[in-house]
Amino acid sequence: MKKIISVLIASALLSACTVVPESNRASTARSTAPASSGAVATRLPAPVAAHPQDRQCLAQLTDTGAQFVPVADAYLGEGCSTVGTVQLSALRSDATRLSLSNMGPVQCGVGAAFAAWARYGVDRAAQQILGSPLQRIETMGSYACRNVAGSSRRSAHATAGAIDIAAFVLEDGRRISVLQHWHGGSAAEKEFLRTVQRSACRRFATVLGPEYNAAHRDHFHLEGVMGDSSFCR
């Protein structure tokens, strides 16, 4: 029964997203030029998920209980784009809604890995190690049209393929930040941060933290979806 309900929710979500075939998208885009007859210009279509793998990912994300809207694909030049992305506004833990800060568009698959990590990696570690459930995750953003720090190579952030995580706020009010607590926290706080980083390494392709370099002293960089192996530092 639960499965049926989630399928219904997923299909309701997808129909709300106005899924139209690729050929229709092109003709809709062409028809947005103002008509000389004075007719009202056609509204741009709602964000779409025309590809089966995108629809599958949106349904998967819906199943996690995340609150989000799909973002219209955009190619922004200079190797930067937001294709197949979503705007996440909240996630679910076992017991409650998890709020997020500073999130921009993120690739759907990375968003789904983030939702699962927040629930099964972070919230449960917070309860077990720190004795309080998770309430909020503070990010330093996801999409940013920029290079890897100190290089001429485009960052995964340039295609909304990564999320930077700065801190975790617990239900009891404690705020555990990578900057303050990775080195300076109590034994439990340090164990919590190392535990959540290790669990991220099981879900994301690349995970970088304070041990990697000075550019990551204040956040975890979570990039891509775990394939055969992950790069975890």
CB of 118 within 8 A of CB of 103?
no
Q: Cβ of residue 162: shortest distance to Zn ion, in angstroms?
A: 5
Q: Cβ of residue 164: shortest distance to Zn ion, in angstroms?
A: 4
Q: Which residues contact 146 (CB under 8 A, 6 or more apart)?
A: 154, 155, 157, 158
Q: Output 203 or 221, the one with its CB closest to Zn ion.
A: 221
CA–CA dist 89, 67 (Å, integer): 5
Q: Output 62 or 114, the one with its CB closest to Zn ion.
A: 114
| Binding residues for Zn ion (CB under 5 A) | 162, 164, 221
Q: Cβ of residue 31: shortest distance to Zn ion, in angstroms?
A: 39
Nearest to residue 181, comparing CAs of 173, 190, 192?
A: 190
Q: Which residues contact 193 (CB under 8 A, 6 or more apart)?
A: 176, 178, 181, 182, 185
Q: What angle do CA 115, 117, 123 make, to 5 degrees?
A: 100
Q: Cβ of residue 55: shortest distance to Zn ion, in angstroms?
A: 28
- Residues 44-81: b if buried by 16+ CB within 10 A, e if exposed: eeebbbeeeebbebbbbbbebbbbbebbebeeeeeebb
CB of 200 within 8 A of CB of 222?
yes
Q: Output 9 or 148, the one with its CB closest to Zn ion.
A: 148
Could you tell me if residue 137 is left (phi over 0), alpha (psi between -120 and 50 degrees) or otherwise beta?
Answer: beta
Q: Cβ of residue 109: shortest distance to Zn ion, in angstroms?
A: 16
Q: Output 119 or 221, the one with its CB closest to Zn ion.
A: 221
Q: Output 54 or 218, the one with its CB closest to Zn ion.
A: 218
Q: Output 55 or 221, the one with its CB closest to Zn ion.
A: 221
CA–CA dist 102, 157 (Å, integer): 14
CB of 41 within 8 A of CB of 34?
yes
Q: Output 17 or 200, the one with its CB closest to Zn ion.
A: 200
